[in-house]
Amino acid sequence: MALKNINPTQTEAWKKLDTHFQNIQATHLRSLFNDNPSRKEEFTLKFNDFSVDFSKNRITKETISHLISLAEETELKDAISKYFGGDEINETEGRAVLHTALRNKSNNPVLVDEQNVMPEIRETLSKIESFTNEVVSGNWKGYTNKSITDVVNIGIGGSDLGPDMVVDALKYYKNHLNVHFVSNIDGDHVQEVIKNLNPETTLFVIVSKTFTTQETLTNAQTIRKWFLQTANEAAIAKHFVAVSTNLKSVAEFGIDNSNIFPMWNWVGGRFSLWSTVGLSISLAVGFENFNSLLTGAFEMDEHFKNEAFENNIPVQLALIGIWYNNFFGSETEVILPYSQYLNKLSAYLQQAIMESNGKSVDRNGDKIDYQTGSIVWGSAGTNSQHAYMQLVHQGTKMIPADFIGFEESLYGNQEHHEKLMANFYAQSQALAEGKTKDEVHLDLKLDGKFDSIEKLMPFKVFEGNKPSNTILIKKLTPSNLGSLISMYEHKIFVQGIIWNIFSYDQFGVELGKELAHKIYANR
Ligand SMILES: O=P(O)(O)OC[C@H]1O[C@](O)(CO)[C@@H](O)[C@@H]1O
């Protein structure tokens, strides 16, 4: 069944939000906190090891209630059941959107065209498991009978960003295999990766859902040629595996049938790390950890599917994002994980969010006259503080922020962790509260060319009232990482539903590809 086609700006809730915005836009977060000493508790939602504090947002209970009405009027509930139920909600490509089935740990079947896809998913997972065990244990031998030491993932976009981000995020859980990523068509990228590798002990995982992507095929061919300088064709079977839906083209590349890891059309590239695209993750951290990642995602799926909107973390994140995007006119969001392990999270989310919701026609094909997908950026704190946070604190733009932090560090270096978390809390507090003239007076010393405190004052005052979410998680485990990624995936879904767009195609990237092919052919 098709998704409903409802213009959000024509809903009653939108009109109420418009009026409510006029009333609340000048209200300062300081006064919201002063007026309600239990604001933090009232605006915090808990789930497993997660505690998500929404209190530093420019919202009241009334805002939330209008936003929930917006979700109801745009029939989010019906959309959620179509999403999980395997309906063809990717209508422009005629496909279901079922990355959630890949981590379905329940016994419930998932039907695509009336066929339960769970047996096939489980079979593929066991193929990932046995292959991972063979390689990690050293039983899998290369063409000179040596065990594998290095793995190279060759892919781009969703066939690179997800595995690369997760392998980096779970570095603490890694085994002895060195995992590398080649994505850019820039020949220097591939050269830098292979220059120190030994073909006898390297496994290449070619990841391409379509197996037509110029970057991936070019890099794979270059690596194949490099490999064949020292090995013969028969050795390819021991060193090249592929992940794809296009089994014919993979076979033509010369990859052994038993080395093909299938994936499915109903998994979007940017949501594919849970599928065989996650093979490099499983190789890097072992199948058990990969499976925990899936379980964590599944638990967030269940929360999202079953929890009432007012207690539903992805729904709240999405609604508050819409509040800033469509009423305050914010154009960007910054993602600030206070963990070096998550430094690549925002690069991953850029594709997930911007490729999904960067759309300007609605589900009816009509031009949209309201803002859709946000521009997403960010990197690990505290480095971000010494780079771009000046603009977030005192610039002219309102940039909602997601602070992501962990109660425990992995190596337990308490002094570092306490300093890290002091910064984590300080940033969101500074953004929310700012610093008033009176507070500046108390500690102002005259600097530079200024001969009076009054003249220096404007530069030292912080307006504050800058919103943020605080996502506090007990510890960076594979399972919690799975929940975190799944949380953002569902935020994307909810926003796409409310904006009345199709989130699961990406035609916007095709024109550039076509032109590049033409320019190359006519060079
Ligand atoms: O896995 P493939 O088919 O090589 O595609 C790679 C990427 O290209 C895109 O289609 C966009 O360029 C992404 O959606 C996808 O993740």
For 16-29, the pLDDT digits (tens) are 999 999 999 999 99
- Ligand 1 neighbours by CB, cut-off 6 Å: 156-159, 208-210, 213, 216, 269-270, 355, 506, 509
pLDDT given at position 446: 58
Residues 6 or more apart whose CB falls under 8 angstroms from that of 350 comprise: 376, 377
Report the nearest-CA residue for atom 2 of ligand 1. Answer: 208
What six digits make up the tokens of 386?
């010494």
CA of 240 to the centre of ligand 1 (A): 20
Q: Which ligand 1 atom sits nearest the alpha carbon of residue 213?
A: 4
Residue 143 vs residues 52, 89, 230, 504, 509: alpha-carbon distances, Å: 51, 46, 10, 41, 39
Q: Which residue do the tokens 């209970």 mark?
A: 61
Catalytic residues: 355, 386, 513
What six digits make up the tokens of 112?
């695509």
Q: What predicted TM-score, i.e. pTM, was given to this entire model?
A: 0.97
pLDDT given at position 307: 98
In degrees and rounded to multiples of 5, residue 361 shows phi and psi of -125, 150
Report the nearest-CA residue for atom 7 of ligand 1. Answer: 157
Q: Which ligand 1 atom sits nearest the alpha carbon of residue 210?
A: 3
CA of 308 to the centre of ligand 1 (A): 34
CA of 281 to the centre of ligand 1 (A): 18
pLDDT given at position 256: 87
pLDDT given at position 21: 98
pLDDT given at position 457: 84
Q: What is the SS3 assignment for 122?
A: helix
Closest C-alpha among 377, 345, 142 to residue 241: 142
Residue 372 vs residues 82, 92, 128, 233, 303: alpha-carbon distances, Å: 22, 18, 37, 50, 25
Low-confidence ranges of the chain (pLDDT < 50): none
ipTM of this model? 0.98
Q: Which ligand 1 atom sits nearest the alpha carbon of residue 215?
A: 4
CA of 100 to the centre of ligand 1 (A): 19
Distance CA 110, CA 85 (A): 7
Closest C-alpha among 154, 223, 222, 212 to residue 182: 154
pLDDT given at position 178: 98
Report the nearest-CA residue for atom 16 of ligand 1. Answer: 158
User: Which of 95, 99, 156 is the best mutation target for the ligand 1 pocket, counting ligand atoms within 8 Å of the beta carbon and taking the most?
Assistant: 156
Max CA-CA distance within the chain?
80
What pLDDT digit, counting tens, does each position of 243-294 carry?
999 999 999 888 988 999 999 999 999 999 999 999 999 999 999 999 999 9
CA of 246 to the centre of ligand 1 (A): 13
